[in-house]
Chains A and B, each alone.
Chain A
């Protein structure tokens, strides 16, 4: 009995000590001095700056700001399978050090950016692919389904086997927009075409940086006779593009950046028909400029086909022969004649 009481006493003492111990010492916020204007804080999603796709689109925005506005950029990158606490800390580090605006690239930052923004009311925050719930946050979302519809039209026009495929990185609401638009674009152009759709992962962010898995999935799709593959999977997309380039007559469709122009994908560019481009760079640049001008953008902004927020890449000239069809489809969407669904 005595041992038990001793134990209880020891544990409660230790617990009390632990609680008081946590409250002592200065916090990192207090000791971080130097709140001068340091430039832009950019937090990438998994895959990092050189993913040739989504993150790189954002990086082009800050690169342009460096050239045109003379701002500095501090870049940090998310790791696989990280938690909300880690994302919050990354954003806090940037804001605390005086970077303004602080931009999170990717829906993963949706929650954390709105939370951290509360602690730094004088800093402007931006998040790509997610909404804003705070006064000092700019939520930049895109009409991915519209651009996907247009590349769907191109795919339907260019396929010889009448079989096309789609690879999504992660089966979430965002990537489903790409699938929905693409499928509708193909079906509206030629209802007889068979479409195979699949996702790399059901719900793990790993889908955005697992090129090997995309490669093997593309291999399977090609072997089943698909000759156009559209991959919406961030860095993973490079894997499927590589695989497609090995098959003569097959086309890859890129995503987010104009992937034909990506240095890292130069070897495979002859297989890249087009890309569904998300002009993240424009959105990022505009946000930085607005902060520089002292009139920071906030609230939710949607970038659709209408305001050139999304577009279809024509580099390489591979879709010159079907350009009229794409232009017509684009006009129909802008005019509201065609409604593109955002979920499959």
Chain B
């Protein structure tokens, strides 16, 4: 029996490695075809990407860029784990960053208080914004897909309304932005050469650990995943599905509220033009790519940063600007498809083996009967 267990794990490892490998090769080939179709040399493109992307300033840039992406993916993944499709991370993060910037710009506390106040404001606002969708789903049965995407657009209008001179913003040249945070609201940076890594990378690490621990190691996480697998089964074993829906939307929104913090506390220090729409949707792609796994999502967030960093260099080398967008799409599709193929293949061998074992058992049984 122990021999069988050993064989099983080896096979499992092989299968687990097969999926990402298959995806990588497929993405590489497909991207090459696309680049070649634009009349450019695909190999040179990859050389440029690896060469430029591995430079020290590129490394720092990629890490800084990956922080909000990772947080965004974590927010999306919390929903995914219980079968909730929170596509409103985009709106949640922007509303949260906006009001956190307003609060931070209005207060002037010492750093030990100022930064937590800003961060907690962001989490609270994000949670409330996502909570609206959660409450609507449990009380009125409205699909969260519809409400969250509509809340995205309401978020944009709300920010647009308040982001004007006579309301919550100040005018700076041709632009509006919220008042600047005082110096006590600046998060520390980790000095590296030539540009520093944002200290907010720690927030991402903490969220990653919390995600792993809460979802994988607690009763609450178990309930959440149980609801995700089967609502009736979870309800039958005593889990309140409604409460789980609202709680996980609140959690997802709170994490979404953090997405804007690296930019706000380490870079812009105000809410102006630095909080583009779309980061929430990037989070969906990264969560898919990382298979909702805390480490997987970290790798995908870094990969995304790498692609964006090198994409600009590709444009500089006269490749089409859109190539990187195509690559990102191809990678996500390849990963999703590759995992499905490998899963089905694994299922088939398992079935075959069980079949063979059963047949063998039947045969020995027959023999024993004959012997008797």
Which residue of the partner chain, among A74, A83, A84, A204, contacts B156 with CB atoms under 8 Å? Answer: A204
A94 / chain B contacts, CB cutoff of 8 Å = 316
Which residue of the partner chain, among B60, B165, B175, B267, contacts A84 with CB atoms under 8 Å? Answer: B267
| A343-B166 Cα distance, complex, nearest whole Å | 12
Contact with B along A106-129 (1 / 0, CB 8 A): 011011000000000000000001
25 A-B pairs within 8 Å (CB atoms) are namely A22-B197, A23-B193, A25-B55, A25-B59, A74-B316, A76-B321, A77-B315, A80-B278, A81-B277, A81-B278, A83-B263, A84-B267, A84-B274, A93-B312, A93-B316, A94-B316, A97-B316, A107-B175, A130-B173, A171-B164, A172-B176, A173-B175, A202-B159, A203-B163, A205-B273
In the complex the two chains form, is B160's CB within 8 Å of A131's CB? no
In the complex the two chains form, is B160's CB within 8 Å of A203's CB? yes
Is B58 positioned at the interface, with any CB of A under 8 Å from its CB? yes
B209 / chain A contacts, CB cutoff of 8 Å = 11
| A54-B205 Cα distance, complex, nearest whole Å | 43
**Residue of B whose beta carbon sits closest to that of A23:** B192
Task: Please name the 9 residue pairs, one residue from A and one from B, whose CB atoms are nearest each other, closest first.
Answer: A202-B160, A81-B276, A174-B174, A28-B55, A81-B278, A203-B160, A27-B57, A23-B192, A27-B56
Min CB–CB distance B22 → chain A (angstroms): 27
A80 / chain B contacts, CB cutoff of 8 Å = 276, 278
In the complex the two chains form, is A110's CB within 8 Å of B174's CB? yes
B278 / chain A contacts, CB cutoff of 8 Å = 80-81
A82 / chain B contacts, CB cutoff of 8 Å = 276
Is B187 positioned at the interface, with any CB of A under 8 Å from its CB? no
In the complex the two chains form, is B156's CB within 8 Å of A90's CB? no
| CB within 8 Å for A28 and B160 given contacts A80-B278, A131-B173 | no
Which residue of the partner chain, among A23, A81, A108, contacts B56 with CB atoms under 8 Å? Answer: A23
**Residue of A whose beta carbon sits closest to that of B58:** A28
Is A201 positioned at the interface, with any CB of B under 8 Å from its CB? yes
Is B231 positioned at the interface, with any CB of A under 8 Å from its CB? no
Contact with A along B37-72 (1 / 0, CB 8 A): 000000000000000101111111101110000000
| CB within 8 Å for A86 and B308 given contacts A11-B205, A80-B278 | yes
Which residue of the partner chain, among B55, B176, B274, contacts A27 with CB atoms under 8 Å? Answer: B55
Is A29 positioned at the interface, with any CB of B under 8 Å from its CB? yes
